Amino acid sequence: MSERRRNTERAAADLQRESPAGAKTHSTDGGQSTPSQSFTQCQGEQTVNETRPLPDINRADSGTVEITSEDDILTARQTTRTVVESLEFRITDVTRTVTAVSELARNVYLYAGEGTMTWYEIHRDDRVGIELKFEDEGPGIQNLSAAVSGNYSTSHGMGRGLEGTRELMDTFKVQTSEDGTTVTVRKWNR
Amino acid sequence: MTSTRSTSITKLYDVLLTNFPAEPTDRAVDTLREELLTLVEAEEPRAVIIDVSRVTTLDSFFARVIAETAQMVQLLGGEPIIVGVRPSVAITAAQLGYTFDDITTARDVDHALETVGISVTQETQTDE
Amino acid sequence: MDTGLITESLDSIDDIFFIRSREGECLYRNETMETVTGYTTEELDDISFAELFVPEDEPRVREGFAAVESENSEQVIQAKLSPQGGQPITYELSLSPLTVDGTNRGVTAIGRDVSDRLSNERQLQQLTEDIRTQSMPIVEVWDGVVLTTVVGSLDTRQAEYLTEELLDEIVSVEAEAAIIDITGLKVLDTATAQHLIDTINAVNLLGSRVVITGISPDIAQTLVQLGIPLSDIETKASLMEGLRVVLEQKGVTFE
């Protein structure tokens, strides 16, 4: 029995070293500060490090969720789910959007400690959709192009992080610097 | 034959069955994992069935928790089996690259039990 | 109200406007009728309204007028206008009873060119048909075995529909195996290959087995070049082989 316990503890320690979960990263002391970078993907086209505005849309309803705790990640998900279901998104698109929100809200919490998510009901022509903006004043993403392009090792089939979120959404825009990060995503009803 | 340890973990024969709640907080997920692993250690089940049929969002955190839990179960000598993945969740998970390669998946609890040699037709238990 | 203003505005609209008396006389028609039909106003005096339409549609127009009068209610009909020396144009006619001081005086006819609408409708129908013929039918070929055949190419939208419907079908028939036959898949680019891989992974997450059949040597090469480990995917050269292995697992034997 004691041997099993030792195995358990060793196994737990191994996993903690491997997995980046749970730990909040702080700014590296004396390390390089995050350079200002941006990335936009819209309608299949990508723009890197240019200020590219997203296509014009009409905004209707909106709301904000403060992200200051792990529980707020759940709130962000639930709020998003309510909104997109009311916009009659297909179930798969509901799942995609809520999953992306969970990822982005968690990033805000893990890497900046706090931030906000603002959602907007958006309209263009006869289409309706949701726009979500995640803002924080955290240390920023060091290497944005690596993070969004999927140069992210998949361990245990554990996924493509920011790149994965980008694939779930129709429009994806990130601006990051040492002063903070803003991620704006859009998903349209189909 | 069946005893309930907590609201989410059940024991069926020598198999542990846990139900992931629908929209858990990160903390609730952590707690569930802790409870589960404690039980795995104590009961030494031949398999642990992780039922995610109520899960509607599988993001990287949950995916990692499930994968880690499964790994731990394996290290402790049991077989982890995931059941009840919803189509929309499966699509999103696949798109994000969560494939749970090393973990067995099954359609439902009955089939999961069959995988480890327990046939539940007619309420009889057959060990093969 | 200045009636001159009204008649001027009626002359300036694109629709044809026509008032017919109970006796069948033309009480009023707007100038648009001349422009559209190509007849002068004198010529129009000698032609009855219904005769302005193609022979097949004439009876329908007459019946429309008759129905307005007998039922005292509005009628809407479609008929092809036959302009002098020109191609027929499809019109939608709104015919209304004209009642003055409680007495019926005749029929008011307003006609609108709907050829644009029709061609859009036709295009939409064609598009739907294209999607349908190019769609991937999903069939339960055996108890617990679903088969889908992919033809042509797989764009993002089609791939998503395929995956969603395949997964829903797998859940609803409790399929233990799915066969995806790509014999007819002509184009395999990175995106399509990724969609295929995602579909395979999604089916696996549901606990079902996936067999890909009909991979041509070309496509096999493309997959390898794209870095997709074929060893992780179960493949069979032909659909028949795929069915065989799946059914054998279910205990069905073949000679």
| Domain-located, residue B48 | yes
In three-state secondary structure terms, C137 is: coil
| Domain-located, residue A28 | no
| Domain-located, residue B99 | yes
Pick B106's closest partner by Cβ from C160, C197, C207.
Answer: C207
Is some CB atom of chain B closer than 8 A to the CB atom of C145?
A: no
Pick A99's closest partner by Cβ from B23, B59, B99.
Answer: B59
| Domain-located, residue A15 | no
Is some CB atom of chain B closer than 8 A to the CB atom of C205?
A: yes
Distance CA A46, CA A142 (A): 19
In degrees and rounded to multiples of 5, residue C37 shows phi and psi of -85, -25
Distance CA A22, CA B64 (A): 11
pLDDT at A8: 40
pTM above 0.80, yes or no: no
Buried b (16+ CB within 10 A) or exposed e, A37-67: bbbbbbeeeeeeeeeeeeeebeeeeeeebeb
pLDDT tens for each residue of B37-54: 899 889 889 999 999 999
Task: For residue B58, give every residue at least 6 positions away whose Cβ sits within 8 Å of its Cβ, in sequence order, or none.
Answer: A99, B52, B89, B92, B93, B98
pLDDT top residue among C184 and A19: C184
Which contacts qualify for C135-142: CB closer than 8 Å, 24 or more apart? Answer: C135/C161, C136/C162, C138/C165, C138/C166, C138/C169, C140/C169, C140/C173, C140/C175, C141/C179, C141/C243, C142/C243, C142/C246, C142/C247, C142/C250, C142/C252
| Touching chains, A (3+ CB pairs < 8 A) | B
pLDDT at B121: 67
> How would residue A11 be classed by pLDDT, with cut points 50, 70 and 90?
very low
pLDDT tens for each residue of B69-123: 888 888 888 899 999 999 999 999 988 888 887 899 999 999 999 988 888 765 5
Domain of residue B78 covers 2-123
Measured between beta carbons, which residues in chain B are less than 8 angstroms from residue C250? Answer: none
Distance CA A76, CA B47 (A): 35
- Two tokens, residue A174: 């990130």
| Domain-located, residue A165 | yes
Looking only at the bridges linking them, the beta strands covering C177-185 and C145-152 are parallel
Mean pLDDT of the C13-21 span: 93
| Domain-located, residue A3 | no
What is each CA distance from C33 to A90, C14, C42, C54, C89, in whole angstroms? Answer: 49, 9, 12, 16, 13
Distance CA A96, CA B4 (A): 34
Q: pLDDT at residue C5 above 80?
A: yes
**CATH domain C132-249 topology:** Transcription Regulator spoIIAA (3.30.750)
Q: Find the CATH number of the domain harbouring B87.
A: 3.30.750.24
| Domain-located, residue B53 | yes
Q: What percent of chain C has pLDDT over 70?
A: 92
pLDDT tens for each residue of A75-121: 999 999 999 999 999 999 999 999 999 999 998 998 899 999 999 99
**Least confident among A149-163, C21-35, C162-176:** A149-163
pLDDT at C135: 57
Is some CB atom of chain A closer than 8 A to the CB atom of B76?
A: yes
- The packing angle between helices A91-112 and B60-75, to 10°, is 80
| Touching chains, B (3+ CB pairs < 8 A) | A, C
Q: Taking the domain C3-114, which CATH number applies?
A: 3.30.450.20
Structurally, how many domains does chain A consist of? 1
CA distance B116 to chain C (A): 14
> How would residue A41 be classed by pLDDT, with cut points 50, 70 and 90?
confident
User: B59: closest CA among B20, B32, B25, B98?
Assistant: B98
ipTM of this predicted complex? 0.84
pLDDT tens for each residue of C143-183: 899 999 887 777 777 888 889 999 999 999 999 999 998 88
C-alpha B33, offset from chain centre: 11
Q: How far apart are the first and last CA of chain C?
A: 92
Distance CA B74, CA B46 (A): 10
pLDDT top residue among C120 and C226: C226
> How would residue A155 be classed by pLDDT, with cut points 50, 70 and 90?
very low
Domain of residue A151 covers 34-188
Domain edges within chain C: 3-114, 132-249
| Domain-located, residue A8 | no
Structurally, how many domains does chain B consist of? 1
Mutate which of B55, B62, B102, B105 to test chain C, going by most C C-beta atoms within 10 A? B105
> How would residue C126 be classed by pLDDT, with cut points 50, 70 and 90?
low
Distance CA B84, CA A82 (A): 23
Is some CB atom of chain B closer than 8 A to the CB atom of C201?
A: yes
Q: Find the CATH number of the domain harbouring A46.
A: 3.30.565.10
